[in-house]
Amino acid sequence: MEELEPWVPKIKEVTDKVKVVYGYFNNHFHGYAVENCLQVLKMLGKLTPEQAKALEKVQSYYTSLESKPVVERPSLEMFVDVSQLSFDSLLKRFIDEPRLKRAKRIKDAEISIERVSDKTIEARIREYHIVIDLENQVILHDCADWSRCIPRKMFCKHLGKLFLSLPEEKSIEILRKIFSEKKYWEFKPYAGF
């Protein structure tokens, strides 16, 4: 919901200048547009009781997805100290082989790494956004496949391409951090600003 908060003052400003305000939520995740729309209405204080029930239903659905147990793929790497895992081994803990192959086919010219710091990684691949908030342990992204990856805390091809494009040592550092603290990390849809 915090990703939507910057929009509230902008919407209020427009509301004062026009008779009717229409919202268009163009994110193609499985119901995230619905959730985002209802969350904005709630933040604006315009949510009806019927809409509040719909929001509760949508949020309980996502909670049920998150509560499903994640079963790790069995491998000897489960018993290896994370500091001993190579870049390839770490990356393969987060992305399956077909997605990794698709990640490698993305042209270097299609990725723009906009910020790399100790706190944040920001990138764009084509029209898609990626934000890795290392401090708050959150990964935000906005492709359709990401919604299928979120419940299992796995990467889509775009996240794979990002880690293939960063300097290897930086990728290893981040992947080790995410892998060793995976249960605390949130994989969420990027709602834009």
Helix (H) or strand (E) holding 43: helix 32-43
Indicate whether this model's pTM tops 0.85.
no
> Beta-carbon neighbour count of residue 65 at 10 Å?
12
Confidence of residue 11 (pLDDT cuts 50, 70, 90): confident
Q: What residues does 113 pair with on adjacent strands?
A: 123
Confidence of residue 65 (pLDDT cuts 50, 70, 90): low
Report the share of the chain in percent with pLDDT over 90.
Answer: 48
User: With 90 as the cut, is the pLDDT of residue 192 above it?
Assistant: no
Q: What's the start-to-end Cα distance of the chain, in Å?
A: 12
**Per-residue pLDDT, 69:** 55
pLDDT in tens, 94-112: 999 999 999 999 999 999 9
pLDDT in tens, 117-153: 999 999 999 989 999 999 999 999 999 899 889 999 9
**Per-residue pLDDT, 40:** 83
**Per-residue pLDDT, 21:** 81
User: With 70 as the cut, is the pLDDT of residue 72 above it?
Assistant: no
Instruction: Quickly list DSSP for 94-132.
Output: TS-HHHHHHHHHS-GGGEEEEEE-SSEEEEEETTEEEEE
Helix (H) or strand (E) holding 42: helix 32-43
Over residues 168-175, the mean pLDDT reads: 96
Q: What residues does 111 pair with on adjacent strands?
A: 125
Q: Using CA atoms, how far apart are residues 58 and 174, in angstroms rounded to an integer?
A: 32
The better pLDDT of the pair 16, 168 is held by 168
**Per-residue pLDDT, 76:** 56
With b for 16 or more beta-carbon neighbours within 10 A and e for fewer, the 155-169 pattern comes to bbbbbbbbbbbbeee
